[in-house]
């Protein structure tokens, strides 16, 4: 297993710290504000879940974390260091340490290369070792992700989706990354095999100390794998906190709506006890996000203040950050609205 | 919520009997589904689940007569209101399709024609089935858009599909599927391409429209949560066969087939945070590599020597049917 052992991030610096990150794209239709002022830290060895709907900017954010996109403004620091301030050699090391795995396992593999060739390719590009060493590392990586050795001779079309995603994981492991951005890595897989791939990510973290940013739209996945979770909406963070707090007792109305919209396989008698928050409409265009709070156009608790003033990013409970004028440690605005929080005894008349 | 007082006969709206679908290939045939049998009653919502490659979509397409004529071989019977769609003259089937049975697809953008306005596509559907004037068709199209919750339908009717968001396009698809007041709608993953907050809206809409018009729904999906929120009965398909047919609540509490149980247990939301997630080992066998006997045996944690024989779909605990030799001795884990 030695060939795959990475150097886990061991100092006290955050694995990644994102500071007021802005990523804009200029198009003919105008400026797409994909990520528009986002700050958070990812700690060494943790899994930081990023949840958001399409258009929230989660994929753009993920690509930026892996160094594939340049910030329009703000900073991403890797273990406290900013890539721009480093030498070329140091920058290359960061590119190797910070990897990304994509959603579509098939599109990520060259159909004309054997699996072993694909797994060896990153090492060739980075001129790691000689051909024999590369082959040894690649075979070890395939074995580590639970694939039989003979699969190295096959081509992508002969593999199932789950196997292909394991190949992509193996390929990333050959570079001994410290940090991997996992962008919807199980979304294209059948539910029946998602568990085994998610278990593999957990095992690799335990063994190799890899830090993950786990990007997904699937609340049940993010809640299962993450230590902390950030909720992204239209290029801004709405809520960040420990996974249990965010996915079981969320404060922000948007997070609450997301959780309430998730279809749960519960029998009808248990289903009736869930509170239903139904959002109107869809996520607005990132070309022209709403003034003030970006969620206000769909928020059931929006007030006039929400249009005028952008909510501050506040820590309402230890480690639990929320961007909502009406949130505090007791909960968010929807927790106080009796019409919506039917059946909840904590409802109090305020606001 | 009111059910329409439409005349309900004793026989089901749709009776599928021994539906076997295969595709011609050089030197033979590839069998995709085998002896699929189930009923859908008037106004009933039935979910169909299974992994990709289990024959869900192909079955849905067969019910609409949309499989390629030259390569697909469809055997068995599909009785709709007592008449066999497979022996019905093509002209008659065309009249029925879109009027009495219609379909909602997964990707609304590829199912809508980009060069026609939404109004043109809605009125085309209506006017090909009913004798109505242009003006009346337009009025009904506007009413249909309004019913599915599209704001300002009077102006939006003249817009093109690209001018609609993903959720709104799916609403247009639903309006189109329902404009002739069909008795049965086949919905193939209608919410899979949508965000979860929009999916919740579309599920609410489908449920309320099906209730108010008494439209039966065959809901093909991979998402058991969506089935639980929408349907009263669940059909589990595996490797081209129905392996369980039962009321949704029964399956969620105590699945009768190990495959239904495996699908439920695989849902991450049901496991403790950070724990090992269960999954079903292996994959659906390719059509030309079907094992003799029970098709699930290689992946089944409960497989026994008698599973080398092929089990039939048999009654199990009242209103259910299960295809498993060991159904009476196993106690399988459900969702709760």
Mean pLDDT of all residues belonging to chain B: 92
Quote the tokens at residue B183. Answer: 């008795």
DSSP B178-204: HTT--SEEEEESTTTTS-HHHHHHHHH
Residue A123 three-state SS: helix
Res B91 pLDDT > 80: yes
CA angle centred on A291, ends A286 and A292, rounded to 5°: 120
Q: Confidence class of residue A326 from pLDDT cuts 50, 70 and 90? A: very high
Is A264 in Cβ contact with B269 (below 8 Å)?
yes
Kindly give, in sequence order, each residue whose CB lies less than 8 Å from that of residue A112, ignoring residues fewer than 6 positions away. A155
Res A10 pLDDT > 60: no
Domain boundaries, chain A: 2-232, 252-335
Q: Does A244 touch chain B (CB under 8 A)?
A: yes
**Bridge partners, B208 (sequence order):** none
Q: What is the pLDDT of residue A92?
A: 86
Q: Confidence class of residue A350 from pLDDT cuts 50, 70 and 90? A: very low
The mean pLDDT value for B73-99 works out to: 94
Residue A312 three-state SS: coil
Closest C-alpha to A256, from A280, A234, A227, A277: A277
Q: Is A63 left (phi over 0), alpha (psi -120 to 50) or beta?
A: alpha
Token pair 């950070």 is at which residue?
A: B274
CA-based Rg of chain A, rounded to a whole angstrom? 22
User: CA of A27, closest CA in chain B: separation in Å?
Assistant: 18
Q: Confidence class of residue B14 from pLDDT cuts 50, 70 and 90? A: very high
Q: Confidence class of residue A251 from pLDDT cuts 50, 70 and 90? A: very high
Alpha helix positions (H), B180-304? 196-213, 224-230, 248-253, 258-265
pLDDT tens digits, one per residue of A220-231: 999 999 999 999
Q: What is the pLDDT of residue A345?
A: 34
The H or E element spanning position A247 is helix A243-248
CA angle centred on B172, ends B169 and B177, rounded to 5°: 130
Res B179 pLDDT > 50: yes
Q: What is the 3-state secondary structure (H, E, C) of B59-121?
A: HHHHHCCCCCCCCEEEEEEEEECCEECCCCCHHHHHHHECCCEEEECCCHHHHCCCCCCHHHH
Upper half-sphere CA count for residue A51 (Cβ side, 13 Å): 32
Is A244 in Cβ contact with B248 (below 8 Å)?
no
Q: Confidence class of residue A346 from pLDDT cuts 50, 70 and 90? A: very low
pLDDT tens digits, one per residue of A17-60: 999 999 999 999 899 999 999 999 999 999 999 999 888 999 99
Name chain B contacts of A53, Cβ cutoff 8 Å: 195-198
Mean pLDDT of all residues belonging to chain A: 89
Q: Confidence class of residue B270 from pLDDT cuts 50, 70 and 90? A: confident
Quote the tokens at residue B79. Answer: 């009785």
Please, are residues A221 and A198 in contact by the beta-carbon 8 Å criterion? yes
Closest C-alpha to B19, from B52, B71, B65, B51: B65
What ipTM was predicted for this assembly?
Answer: 0.85
Backbone angles phi, psi at B201, to 5 degrees: -65, -45
Q: What is the pLDDT of residue A55?
A: 86
Kindly give, in sequence order, each residue whose CB lies less than 8 Å from that of residue B207, ignoring residues fewer than 6 positions away. B45, B229, B230
pTM above 0.80, yes or no: yes
CA distance A279 to A301: 11
The mean pLDDT value for A166-193 works out to: 94
Is B228 in Cβ contact with A193 (below 8 Å)?
no
Q: Confidence class of residue B274 from pLDDT cuts 50, 70 and 90? A: confident
Is A263 in Cβ contact with B203 (below 8 Å)?
yes
User: CA of A263, closest CA in chain B: separation in Å?
Assistant: 5
Res B217 pLDDT > 50: yes
Q: Confidence class of residue A302 from pLDDT cuts 50, 70 and 90? A: very high
Q: What is the pLDDT of residue A273?
A: 65
Domain A2-232 annotated CATH 3.30.70.980: no
Q: What is the pLDDT of residue A197?
A: 94
Res B271 pLDDT > 60: yes
Q: What is the pLDDT of residue A343?
A: 34
Is A243 in Cβ contact with B335 (below 8 Å)?
no
CA distance A23 to A21: 7
pLDDT tens digits, one per residue of B289-330: 899 999 999 999 999 999 999 999 999 998 999 999 999 999
Is B277 in Cβ contact with A194 (below 8 Å)?
yes
Q: Which domains does chain B have, with CATH numbers?
A: 14-231 (3.40.50.300), 238-270+279-322 (no CATH)
Closest C-alpha to A224, from B275, B208, B129: B275
Chain B: residue nearest A276 by CA? B200
The mean pLDDT value for A294-302 works out to: 94
CA distance A287 to A67: 24
């Amino acid at each position: 297993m030695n060939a795959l052992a990475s150097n886990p991030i061991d100092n006290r610096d955050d694995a990644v710290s994102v500071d007021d990150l802005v990523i804009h794209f200029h198009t003919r239709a105008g400026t797409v504000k994909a990520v528009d002022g986002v700050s958070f830290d990812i700690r060494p060895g943790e899994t930081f879940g990023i949840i958001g709907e399409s258009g929230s900017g989660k994929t753009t954010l993920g690509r930026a974390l892996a160094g594939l996109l340049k910030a329009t403004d703000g900073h991403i620091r890797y273990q406290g260091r900013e890539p721009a301030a480093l030498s070329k050699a140091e920058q290359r090391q960061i590119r190797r340490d910070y990897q990304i795995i994509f959603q579509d396992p098939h599109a990520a593999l060259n159909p004309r290369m054997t699996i072993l060739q694909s797994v060896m390719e990153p090492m060739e590009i980075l001129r790691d070792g000689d051909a024999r060493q590369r082959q040894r590392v690649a075979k070890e990586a395939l074995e580590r992700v639970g694939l039989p050795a003979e699969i190295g001779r096959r081509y992508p079309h002969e593999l199932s989706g789950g196997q292909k995603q394991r190949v992509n994981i193996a390929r990333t492991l050959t570079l001994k990354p410290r940090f991997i951005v996992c962008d919807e890595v199980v979304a294209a897989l059948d539910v029946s095999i998602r568990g085994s791939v998610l278990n593999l990510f957990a095992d690799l973290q335990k063994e190799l100390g890899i830090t993950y940013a786990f990007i997904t739209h699937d609340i049940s996945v993010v809640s299962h794998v993450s230590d902390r979770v950030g909720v992204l909406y239209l290029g801004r963070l709405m809520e960040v906190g420990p996974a249990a707090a965010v996915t079981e007792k969320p404060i922000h109305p948007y997070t609450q709506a997301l959780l309430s919209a998730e279809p749960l396989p519960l029998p009808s008698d248990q289903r009736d006890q869930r509170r239903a928050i139904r959002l109107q409409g869809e996520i607005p265009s990132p070309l022209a996000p709403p003034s003030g709070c970006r969620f206000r156009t769909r928020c059931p608790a929006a007030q006039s203040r929400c249009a005028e003033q952008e909510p501050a990013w506040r820590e309402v409970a230890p480690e639990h950050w929320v961007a909502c004028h009406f949130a505090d440690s007791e909960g968010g605005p929807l927790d106080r609205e009796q019409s919506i929080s039917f059946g909840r005894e904590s409802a109090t008349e305020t606001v | 919520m009111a059910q329409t007082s439409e005349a309900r006969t004793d026989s089901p709206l749709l009776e599928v009997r021994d539906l076997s679908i295969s595709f011609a290939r050089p030197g033979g045939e590839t069998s995709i589904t085998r002896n699929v049998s189930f009923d859908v009653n008037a106004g009933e919502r039935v979910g169909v689940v299974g992994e990709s490659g289990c024959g869900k979509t192909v079955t849905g397409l067969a019910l609409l007569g949309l499989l390629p004529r030259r390569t697909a071989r469809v055997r068995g019977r599909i009785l709709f209101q007592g008449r066999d769609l497979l022996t019905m003259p093509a002209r008659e089937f065309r009249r029925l399709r879109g009027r009495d049975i219609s379909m909602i697809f997964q990707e609304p953008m590829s199912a809508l024609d980009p060069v026609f306005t939404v109004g043109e596509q809605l009125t085309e559907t209506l006017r090909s089935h009913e004798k109505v004037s242009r003006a009346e068709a337009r009025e009904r199209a506007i009413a249909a858009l309004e019913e599915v919750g599209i704001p300002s339908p009077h102006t939006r009717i003249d817009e093109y599909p690209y001018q609609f968001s993903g959720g709104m396009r799916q609403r247009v698809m639903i309006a189109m599927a329902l404009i002739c007041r069909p008795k049965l709608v086949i919905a193939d993953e209608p919410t899979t391409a949508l965000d979860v907050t929009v999916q919740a809206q579309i599920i609410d809409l489908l449920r309320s429209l099906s209730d108010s018009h008494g439209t039966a729904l065959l809901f093909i999906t991979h998402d058991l949560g969506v089935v639980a929120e929408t349907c009263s009965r669940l059909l589990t398909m595996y490797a081209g066969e129905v392996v369980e047919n039962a009321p949704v609540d029964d399956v969620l509490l105590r699945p009768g087939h190990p495959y239904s149980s495996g699908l439920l247990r695989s849902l991450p939301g049901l496991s403790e945070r950070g724990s090992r997630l269960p999954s079903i080992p292996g994959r659906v066998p390719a059509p030309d590599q079907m094992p003799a006997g029970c098709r699930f045996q290689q992946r089944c944690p409960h497989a026994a020597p008698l599973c080398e024989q092929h089990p039939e779909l048999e009654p199990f605990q009242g209103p259910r049917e299960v295809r498993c030799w060991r159904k009476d001795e196993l106690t399988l884990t459900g969702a709760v």
